[in-house]
Chain A
Amino acid sequence: YPSPMTPMTPITPATPASESSGIVPQLQNIVSTVNLGCKLDLKTIALRARNAEYNPKRFAAVIMRIREPRTTALIFSSGKMVCTGAKSEEQSRLAARKYARVVQKLGFPAKFLDFKIQNMVGSCDVKFPIRLEGLVLTHQQFSSYEPELFPGLIYRMIKPRIVLLIFVSGKVVLTGAKVRAEIYEAFENIYPILKG
């Protein structure tokens, strides 16, 4: 049986003895959508809400902001709404409900249908510098590194389907997840690759 000295390859699934990174990515942004279920008059909303801006020539939606949780929402005349800027799923849901409540108070029969989280962004620091050129050589089917265009390496992981931006300073940004677990899983997948 394997003695404690045998090296564990990163390919084996997580067992208690394998090295986990011990670093947890922090969620930075959550984008979610919800259907308020009724047609809205954007002009009314914009003119009677304190925190709303509406510039129909530029964009066909009302941009509303609330302070707690600090989020921004795009409210469309069809009744659909996009909520961005929250740092957790619960906060995103709470913020979306607050916006719906504001719309309700302004006189529209707003409901709260099909709340769905569309995108989650997380970031973390592995605390050691990363050789991007080496990574693009060994994982060239997933990586795209163009220093002329962007200083980071864009790694498109297939399973789970997440895009990671990897920088030479050791910072990693993960995006494209629909659930929190995908971000964690993606980071656990990439950590042994980065360590080399």
Chain B
Amino acid sequence: MTGRVCRGCGGTDIELDAARGDAVCTGCGSVLEDNIIVSEVQFVENSGGGSSAVGQFVSLDGAGKTPTLGGGFHVNLGKESRAQTLQNGRRQIHHLGNQLQLNQHCLDTAFNFFKMAVSKHLTRGRKMAHVIAACLYLVCRTEGTPHMLLDLSDLLQVNVYVLGKTFLLLARELCINAPAIDPCLYIPRFAHLLEFGEKNHEVSMTALRLLQRMKRDWMHTGRRPSGLCGAALLVAARMHDFRRTVKEVISVVKVCESTLRKRLTEFEDTPTSQLTVDEFMKIDLEEECDPPSYTAGQRKLRLKQLEQVLSKKLEEVEGEISTYQDAIENELESSRPKAKGALANLTRDGSVEDTTSSVFGEDDAEDEELEAAASHLNKDFYQEILGSGLSSSSEGAGDPDGDTRPPALESLLGPLPTAASLGISDSIRECISSQSQDPTDACGDGELDLSGIDDLEIDRYILNEAEARVKAELWMRENAEYLREQREKEARIAKEKELGIYKEHKPKKSCKRREPIQASTAGEAIEKMLEQKKISSKINYSVLRDLNSKGGGGLQEEDAQPEGRTATRKLSRRKTPARRHRADPVTGVGKRLRPMVSAQPAKKAAAGEPLPLSPSTLGAEPARPTAVLVESGPVSYHPEDDPDEDDPDEDDGEPCVSALQMMGSGDYGCDGEEDDGY
């Protein structure tokens, strides 16, 4: 049928028997093919008399070796961890995605994101549910579906900000930039929920127009899109004579009532709100407003400036009032009989100076004015003299202004050529940093420098005896439980120590990357590996140790070569479980001996791995040619093949043949293979 030509007679009439699986030439009867792989469906008869197809259900991804004919209870048995995780994730994604009514394409994309996340180890230390939700939300964002993070949070009953954190991390690690949310996406969804009936489309259009107007008026930046949608829909509904209350809208849109009112107020402040319904549909105002937070900030600034100006004016007025007061009192004094000659002169001098100081006070900063005002109010002889003295001295100081000077300097220095522009910033920074290190060294190797520290101030922070006692009492009462627990714990530890069963629970340290095994001989390598890890329960370790003494060249190479590979390749922690099984002495390798035998010369030639023991392999060859040939061939793996071959070999290793059988009686195996019709 395939048009082949028989080798024997040259005839083209080949008969393919599917049942027996062979191809026979009808002319001469020679069998051309044996054991043809067929893809036919076979049926078996059930007990009830019906027939069912023979076969297994295999899942789309992952190793589907366990038969799950409609069962599924033992789905996760015996699979490797990664496959389990992925399968679990897939199940959860589908479950959650169906609740959100996402289509299959979205779910597949979400699963792809999840696979990427797992490969980047982002699922470590995080709840699977969070990661799944983040993947789904990422898909929603990239596809532009009207799903909010709040919906996912509702379904999972998780705080939305926690989900948000996971989502942001996922987006950053996967380098996927989701476009910013457009509130217009949510309008159809909310409009549908608000049940506008036939006018749904019109109301939606009006709401969209309102939203665009809000966008132009800078109302939507930094705000939750759902809040804006709610406001837009409310106004649109009112415009079309639908009586939707605030409560109804917020139950659909999921924002707070105050938020909605605030948005409505902000919209009210824009000039568009002054238009009538018809005008709004036709006209588009040109000017754009500033965002509300910006205008609020500006208003606050202006208020503060106004306050400052006002307080200055107040001081001036006070100063004026006090000058009037002085003038009045002067008049009164002059009209009074002049007593106390010398003192009177002095008071008159003082009052003259007061007026001058008050004049200064108006010109200078508020501090001086306060001083002048205080001196007026006091009317004390000495005070006035002090006040005048102070006002003259404080003119020159201007200490409060000193703090504000450095920033002004910086702004002055800005336009000047900076170190960066001159290209010497690095060297300057080095010089500065080395200089700054010196003061600390000069400190006398870490002695506390007490300059600028007021001892009295420090003493104020320390309690005296009585206060300390009171505080101790209060503290003891507060923390009594904790102290009791600590005491019990100590007692328990002491008892366990006595009994010798004290198990110290150290906080978990993260596993360090294992060092590649450095060994000079194969035997050493094996020993080191054994020390480091127990590989599998199915290996007879004692036999392995005996191998060194017994095995000789070829056997050692076998074990050394896996070690060699592990040494040359960087082991990540992830890979070591797989590596472990790979390095497991030969249960897998042995199985492959047979199929590999035919291909061994090619393999050996193609072996590109720089194994340190290959020369010795060759050297040992003459001693036991067949054994070495067979065993070294398949072991020299190509690096690319390994990851794929890990899993099947691990599985193949299950029906365990002990190392002894494979290794110690390696001769038998070799002979057996040789017998196998070759």
A contact residues vs B (CB 8 Å cutoff): 13-16, 18, 20-24, 26, 35, 37, 46-51, 54-57, 66, 68, 94, 97-98, 100-102, 104-106, 110-115, 125, 128-129, 131-133, 136-137, 140-141, 144-149, 151-152, 167-171, 184-185, 188
Contact = CB atoms under 8 A, between A and B. Distances in A.
A14 B297 contact: no
Interface residues of B, number: 62
A98 B168 contact: no
Contacts of B457: 68, 98
Given A66-B461, A101-B448, A144 B180 contact: no
A169 B291 contact: yes
Contact of B417 (A16, A51, A94): A16
A128 B287 CA distance: 16
B479 to A, nearest CB: 6
A168 B293 contact: yes
B137 to A, nearest CB: 10
B421 interface: yes
A57 B164 contact: no
B657 to A, nearest CB: 55
B458 A105 contact: yes
A136 B177 CA distance: 9
Given A136-B180, A145-B180, 17 more contacts: A14-B421, A15-B421, A20-B415, A23-B411, A54-B475, A101-B448, A104-B448, A110-B448, A111-B447, A112-B448, A132-B222, A144-B171, A147-B180, A148-B148, A148-B181, A148-B225, A151-B222
A101 B458 contact: yes
Interface in B446-502: 446-450, 452-453, 457-463, 467-468, 471-472, 475, 478-479, 481-482
B290 interface: yes
Contacts of B478: 55
Interface of B: 148-150, 160-161, 164, 167-168, 171-172, 177, 180-181, 218, 220-226, 290-291, 293-294, 296-297, 407, 410-411, 414-418, 420-421, 440, 443, 446-450, 452-453, 457-463, 467-468, 471-472, 475, 478-479, 481-482
B410 A184 contact: yes
Given A50-B461, A141-B177, A147-B223, A55 B479 contact: yes
Given A168-B291, A170-B297, A113 B446 contact: yes
Contacts of A141: 177
Given A16-B417, A22-B411, A50 B294 contact: no
B294 A169 contact: yes
19 contacts: A37-B446, A49-B461, A49-B462, A50-B461, A68-B457, A97-B448, A112-B448, A137-B180, A144-B172, A147-B180, A147-B222, A148-B150, A148-B224, A149-B161, A149-B164, A149-B168, A167-B222, A168-B222, A170-B294
Contacts, number: 156
A18 B443 CA distance: 43
A129 B161 CA distance: 26
Nearest to B443: A112
A46 B462 CA distance: 10
B221 to A, nearest CB: 4
B450 A101 contact: yes
Contacts of B225: 147-148
A57 B149 contact: no
Which of B172, B181, B225, B296 counts the most A-chain CB atoms under 10 A from its CB?
A: B181
3 A-B pairs with the lowest CB-CB distances in the bound complex, closest first:
A151-B222, A113-B446, A169-B293
B411 A47 contact: no
Given A20-B415, A167-B222, A97 B449 contact: yes
A168 B446 CA distance: 46
Contacts of B453: 94, 97-98, 101
A76 B370 CA distance: 46
Contact of A16 (B180, B222, B293, B416): B416
A27 to B, nearest CB: 10
Nearest to A47: B472
A57 B479 CA distance: 8
Contacts of B414: 20-22, 24, 188
Contacts of B150: 148
B297 A171 contact: yes
Contacts of B467: 50
A3 to B, nearest CB: 19
